[in-house]
Amino acid sequence: MKVSTENLGNCQAVLTIEAEASELDKSLNEAYHHLVKEVSIPGFRKGKAPRAILVQHVGKQSLLHEALEHLIPQLYRQAIESQELESIARPEIEIIQTEPLVFKAMVSLKPEIKLGDCHSIRLEPGPAKKIAKKEVAAAMEEFRESQGAWVPVDRSVKLGDLVTMDIEANVDGKPWLNHKGILYEVDKDSSSPVPGFASRLQGAEKNKEMNFNLTIPDDYPIKEMCGKEGAFKVTVTEIKEKQLPELDDELARSAGYENLVDMKKKVAAELKVKAEAKNRSELRQKALDALVGISEVSYPPILEDEEITGILRDEAQRLGFRELEDYLKKTSKTEEELKPELRPVAKKRLIRSLVLEKFAEEEKIEINSSEVDNKVGEIANGAEDKEKATQFFSLPQIRQSIEQSLRMKKTMGRLLQIAIGDGEVTTKEE
């Protein structure tokens, strides 16, 4: 076998591999012995037909294809070992000729990261966050809102109501929506089913049909409906308004506080902790951005494409799609069509990840099994079924994911420690 290597930059190389005639002959012979046992040839028992007869029966190209299926991966592995290359993905193979066998392999190589001087990074934590009275009042009102109860009322619909309704909708005369007895919160900012729908419900009387048209927005997920008129027929069958409890000692005690004064004091303390945690999180991101800014990163393009696929899968799962293909059908776009708009985000995420991983490697940051055990226990203790949760989070792949998450948190803590010199090295959630 002869091998030549061309470095293309961006952690990519092309290997040109030429097989010896003896290597191809050996592979053809092995292919013959494999195929002759699989193919039925009249006049011969399986495995007994001569090679020439087999070739007449299946064709020379079939035998060659079978041989190359095994020979090319074998020669490729030998080639990257001989060239001392570290491949991170399956190569792109291009067969130049078959006799003698010559093929090219596009190889994606391990990323190259040269960290800048992290000890030159300096960040100021800033003054301690002071919690204003209006922030406490807003948090108290938010809690009060969460404790409200929906109560039936005998009046027309207002913004903020919860209604039960029957709805039918057509677009260009074609059926679109048809639901009976669905619940709908009349929120003026709602874009469901289309922007403006909630506002049109204002003033609706119970059990009286109302008809109206709305234009489907140009950015609607179902492309064939964009810009068209939707005809709606709605009948509200029940109207409820939210009645809020009084903000008093009784409400405070129901939430586990001694009284209203104690609640305000502790809510202020909780807001302070959250604000400090947010500040630390922002500082960690600034420290990472600073490290990225002084580092040099090179990687093969395939990693960017894989990152884009990861972003799409995350978005699909967030929206409740089990398969990426189902999500793409909903958007009426292919992954290739979405790549250009996602590439900048993917690139930023990938570079951050590579730099952080390199920093963790150089700082020798590791997570031991007891740390993972503690995290599994912490998660399980917060679950409804502790035993099932413990079993699930003890699965090897789940433990590995937890370990990686803890390692990245500890790595970010170490980076921040260097940037502000406060000794923070933690895996604790904030």
Q: CATH code at 237?
A: 3.10.50.40
Give me the CATH number covering residue 29.
Answer: 3.30.70.1050
Task: Kindly list the averaged pLDDT for each block of 10 residues, start to end, along the chain of length 430.
Answer: 93 95 92 87 85 88 91 95 93 92 96 94 86 95 94 96 96 91 94 92 96 91 86 97 95 94 96 92 94 96 94 89 86 86 94 96 94 91 87 92 94 94 52
User: How many C-beta atoms surround the C-beta of residue 350 within 10 A?
Assistant: 19
Q: Show the domain range for 329.
A: 299-351
* 87 bridge partner residues: 109
Query: Taking a C-beta distance cutoff of 8 angstroms, is the pair 280, 412 a contact?
Result: no
pTM above 0.85, yes or no: no
Note the pLDDT of residue 422.
63
Examine the fold and report which residue of 218, 243, 268 is the final residue of a domain before the chain moves on. Answer: 243
Task: Give the C-alpha separation, 360 to 362, whole Å.
Answer: 6
Structural domains counted in the chain: 3
pLDDT score recorded for residue 274 = 93
The residue from 243, 274, 309 where one domain ends is 243
Contact 216, 195 (CB under 8 A): no
Quickly count: other Cβ atoms within 10 Å of residue 244's Cβ: 13
Instruction: Mark whether 10 and 100 lie in a shared domain.
Output: yes
Note whether 106 and 160 are same-domain residues.
no
Residue 411 lies in a domain: no
Based on the domain organization, do 154 and 105 belong to the same domain?
Answer: no
CB 119 within 8 A of CB 254: no
Residues 164 and 86 in one domain: no
- Distance linking the first and last C-alpha atoms of the chain: 57
Structural domain includes residue 372: no
Domain end position, chosen among 110, 140, 158? 110
